[in-house]
Structure 1
Amino acid sequence: MTADRAHAYEEAVRARVAAARLWAAHRAPYLASAVFALNPVILEPALDEDTGAPVADPGFRAFPADTRWNLYVEPGTALATPVEEIGWWMLHQVGHLVRGHAARSPVRPEPGHEVSHAAGAARDEEAHRWNQAADAEINDDLEAEELRGPAGVLSPAELGLPAHRTAEEYVPMLDVLASAMGRGGRALAEAIDCGSAVDGQERTYEDGGPGEGLTRLDRDLLERSIAAGIQDRVSARGELPSGWRRWAEERLRPSVNWRARLGAVIRSGLSTVAGQVDFSYRRPSRRAGAYAGIVPPSMVRAVPDTVLVIDTSGSVTNDVLNRLLAEVTGIIDGVAGPGRRLRAFCCDVHPHPVQLVRRASDIELVGGGGTDLRAGIAAAMALRPRPDLVVVLTDGETPWPEQRPPAQVVVCLIGDGGHAPGWASVARIPSKGES
């Protein structure tokens, strides 16, 4: 292909992308800033041997994106795709990017962890199902705007799935549906790859790409701007798909640093106990000389006795527990003094023997199976001396005592699920992500 002809094809591709961008911004104006933030990266075309014209590659029909907001455009596919369809895929990719599907992906590579070849096939299948579930979450809202996807694209409505669910909720539904349809010799939906924007796994065509994309700060500012625009539209009684309204509410909800929250809750429990003063003869009163032959007691401040109850049922990983134990013991040391001994129970359906430790690293995490922290809290209350403060580390998937125990209780609730009793102080802790 001559340089002039190649330039002409590239200009034609860019013109179609520009037209598609305008179409998408017009059809979903609350996402216009996101659509214009996409950075088109024109890939090297595959050429027809006879005519020298670019040939469409079905693997790029979704106009895949990466997490830096680069949109990868294969020339043959772009020239063969209607402008409206390219615009639809732009809105679709914006959905993956803005809703953080790559960060939520169950197959997102962990730093320093290699995937074996044997596990590759299963991982590919899991990535494919996640892509479909994330598509279902997005396409549901596009359909609410009367933006029907191209042929072969997964649609919750057409599959009879409930509306307005998250990708995490759609995964098990699609597994069941795919199994049922597979027995009848039918496929759930076409295999469509939306790129690393959906699962966090880098593709080969991203290597050395010319597009710089958006920085993390750029993405954060853009998302907040989009969320604010959506909320303004809702305030003006504008109609919007429920998924985007929910995302905007969550995105603009004030975030609380979990370490600060954890520290505040534990310090509050410790100070409540420490604030309970009593009389003691261990140290004579300074006013002893004022009493004839009598040595009165002095006022002392209690040093809080703390017990840890650790959920080791298996639903919370040891890595998360060890990280949280280090945070908790560090806070306790800061209030009650360093080097103090702590008593700790590991508990699944029953409490394991109490451990007396000075550091979090000394705690041996034992147990597995079901969870019933009522037994662990009861064992803590049966200790002598009885603790002033009980710190419980759990994901909350457990029954709780109906009555408030005779001690301050702080529940470190790990993850987004589970629950804590109303009588406890609670600090919600992320199960992954922030270390």
Structure 2
Amino acid sequence: MSSEDARVAARFAAARLWAASRAPYLAHALFSLTPVVLEPRRDGETGEPVPDPEWRAFPTDPGWRVHIDPGTALAVPVEEFGWWLLHGVGHLVRRHGDRAPAAAGPGDPVARRWNRAADAEVNDDLEAAGLDVPAGVVSPRALGLPPGRLAEEYLSEIEVLDGAQARGGRSAGDLVDCGSAADGLERSSGESGGDGLSGVERAVLEAALARDVLARAAARSDVPGGWQRWARERTRPAVDWRARLGAVLRRGAHPGAGRVDFTYRRPARRRGPQGPHGRVLLPAMAAPSPEVAVVVDTSGSVDDGVLRVLVSEAAGVLERVGGPGRRLRVICCDRRAHPVQTVRRAEEIRLVGGGGTDLREGIAAAAGLRPDLVLVLTDGDTPWPDRPPRMPVVVGLVAGPTVPDPPAWARVVPLPARP
């Protein structure tokens, strides 16, 4: 590594550390960024790198790569560099690239307005965290717009301001290119360098980040309201698995429903009879907690978007069914059943596979664990067992138009095509 590269790397490390200290609830995301150092512009006489205005914002792409112009990185204060890292994480986590309206290219007026609207959504929370927005960059406060809105809402306001500017009014902020993470448009050059995060890895990272945000908010740390709203939405599964699984269990997975078992973990409130050595401790009644085995379809027919849905729903199972301290047994399956994984959190699931599809293997492996219920998460493009296993089977189905229905003995829960 050259001395120049070492200086840029040290600057990036310092900026990331500063950002993590100002927004610790985003530390997981900040340390998941992959730096890509660009070829610098150089001074014609000294040969030293000089800032390139095109890369002022340290743009990011959907693979969680941050593109670093050496001249800009070495010229701006560490605090400003760190601010832009937090800004880029905001675009990534909120998936502004996926939400962007169709545009012809990065210079298209539609893309420019959307970039500024997305900036307003992100910078609103940075201001709420007490971090000053760099000069000329869009923020709701600078534009006189109400806080706490989505980019789609700010977009209409910025269109009005752009119309006013065309008639001689003030500008709605500088045109700062935040990269394809903000507008969803591929760049012909510059945005490249190494493998970024896959769709599944991004989904797992977002789930972990949402949990971190909610944990810090619950501990009464200073977490902006916008991040808390995002985290609550991100951790809300599409299906209320507790209600669905409860209905299945009442139909036969357990001989009784409700509080039908005794436990000494929490004594009963009523007082027991007096014995020779003191009062007798009576057990409390407890509801049975189901043992669930999850089969996740990781075959090649399941694209990244569908797999993100399946991971999101697996996280819902963990949270709503497993309960605190409970573990869930997960089997990834393509043409064969992969080894059982026992996990507590969604990000602990290692999604392995990618070949053909035969969920009969996964269901047989799950049935061999003797759970109360087998939950299959799939796009449905698979052969099914001829005979049902001895325990109930629920199929979380992200179905395409040509996929046949699962067998009648499985209870099907439709899942959305996107998380």
TM-score (norm 2): 0.56
Matches within 5 A, 1:31-50: 31-50=26-45
Match of 1:223 among 198, 206, 210: 206
SS class of match (1:37): coil
Per-residue CA deviations over 1:368-388 (Å, capped at 9, x if unaligned) read xxxxxxxxxxxxxxxxxxxxx
Per-residue CA deviations over 1:209-255 (Å, capped at 9, x if unaligned) read 33211111211111111101111122222232111011000000012
SS class of match (1:16): helix
Task: Report whether the alignment pairs 1:173 with 2:157.
Answer: yes
1:186 & 1:169 partners in 2: Cα distance? 20
Matches within 5 A, 1:84-123: 84-107=79-102
1:153 & 1:127 partners in 2: Cα distance? 16
1:256 & 1:107 partners in 2: Cα distance? 30
1:140 & 1:168 partners in 2: Cα distance? 14
Per-residue CA deviations over 1:406-435 (Å, capped at 9, x if unaligned) read xxxxxxxxxxxxxxxxxxxxx9997xx65x
Match of 1:204 among 158, 178, 188: 188
2:415 & 2:9 partners in 1: Cα distance? 46
Aligned to 2:137: 153
Amino acid at match of 2:111: A
Task: Report whether the alignment pairs 1:20 with 2:15.
Answer: yes
Per-residue CA deviations over 1:248-268 (Å, capped at 9, x if unaligned) read 0000001239xxx9xxxxxxx
1:229 & 1:68 partners in 2: Cα distance? 21
- Where structure 1 has 5 or more consecutive residues not aligned to the other structure, the ranges are 1-5, 109-114, 262-426
2:129 & 2:160 partners in 1: Cα distance? 28
Match of 1:77 among 72, 76, 80: 72
Cα RMSD (Å): 2.5
Once the two structures are TM-superposed, the CA of residue 82 in structure 1 deviates from its matched residue by 0.8
Match of 1:244 among 208, 213, 227: 227
Question: What stretches of structure 1 move > 6 A for 4+ residues in a row?
Answer: 427-430
2:6 & 2:220 partners in 1: Cα distance? 41
Once the two structures are TM-superposed, the CA of residue 143 in structure 1 deviates from its matched residue by 0.2
Task: Report whether the alignment pairs 1:130 with 2:114.
Answer: yes
Contact preservation (8 Å) 2:37, 2:69 = yes
1:249 & 1:99 partners in 2: Cα distance? 13
Aligned to 1:9: 4
Once the two structures are TM-superposed, the CA of residue 184 in structure 1 deviates from its matched residue by 2.2
1:210 & 1:234 partners in 2: Cα distance? 36
Amino acid at match of 1:50: E
2:95 & 2:34 partners in 1: Cα distance? 17
1:224 & 1:147 partners in 2: Cα distance? 25
SS class of match (2:35): strand
Contact preservation (8 Å) 2:38, 2:190 = no
SS class of match (1:93): helix
Q: Which moved more, 1:22-31 or 1:247-256?
A: 247-256
SS class of match (1:204): coil
Aligned to 2:399: none
Aligned to 1:328: none
1:9 & 1:198 partners in 2: Cα distance? 29
Matches within 5 A, 1:23-422: 23-107=18-102, 124-206=108-190, 209-256=192-239
Question: What fraction of aligned residue pairs are identical, expressed as a percent?
Answer: 54
1:30 & 1:179 partners in 2: Cα distance? 38
2:189 & 2:2 partners in 1: Cα distance? 21
1:210 & 1:135 partners in 2: Cα distance? 25
Aligned to 2:295: none
Measured at CA, do residues 428 and 101 of structure 1 come closer, stay the same or move farther in structure 2, by a change above 3 Å?
farther
2:144 & 2:169 partners in 1: Cα distance? 19
SS class of match (2:220): coil
Amino acid at match of 1:203: R
Q: Which moved more, 1:225-234 or 1:124-133?
A: 225-234
Per-residue CA deviations over 1:290-341 (Å, capped at 9, x if unaligned) read xxxxxxxxxxxxxxxxxxxxxxxxxxxxxxxxxxxxxxxxxxxxxxxxxxxx
1:56 & 1:129 partners in 2: Cα distance? 25
SS class of match (2:133): coil
Once the two structures are TM-superposed, the CA of residue 188 in structure 1 deviates from its matched residue by 1.6
2:96 & 2:414 partners in 1: Cα distance? 22
Once the two structures are TM-superposed, the CA of residue 183 in structure 1 deviates from its matched residue by 1.6
Amino acid at match of 2:236: R
CA radius of gyration, larger in: 1
2:50 & 2:219 partners in 1: Cα distance? 47
Measured at CA, do residues 172 and 429 of structure 1 come closer, stay the same or move farther in structure 2, by a change above 3 Å?
farther
SS class of match (2:189): helix
Query: What is the count of residue pairs matched by the alignment?
Result: 249
1:211 & 1:255 partners in 2: Cα distance? 34
Contact preservation (8 Å) 2:91, 2:122 = yes
2:4 & 2:213 partners in 1: Cα distance? 37
2:25 & 2:226 partners in 1: Cα distance? 13
2:225 & 2:169 partners in 1: Cα distance? 35
1:125 & 1:429 partners in 2: Cα distance? 36
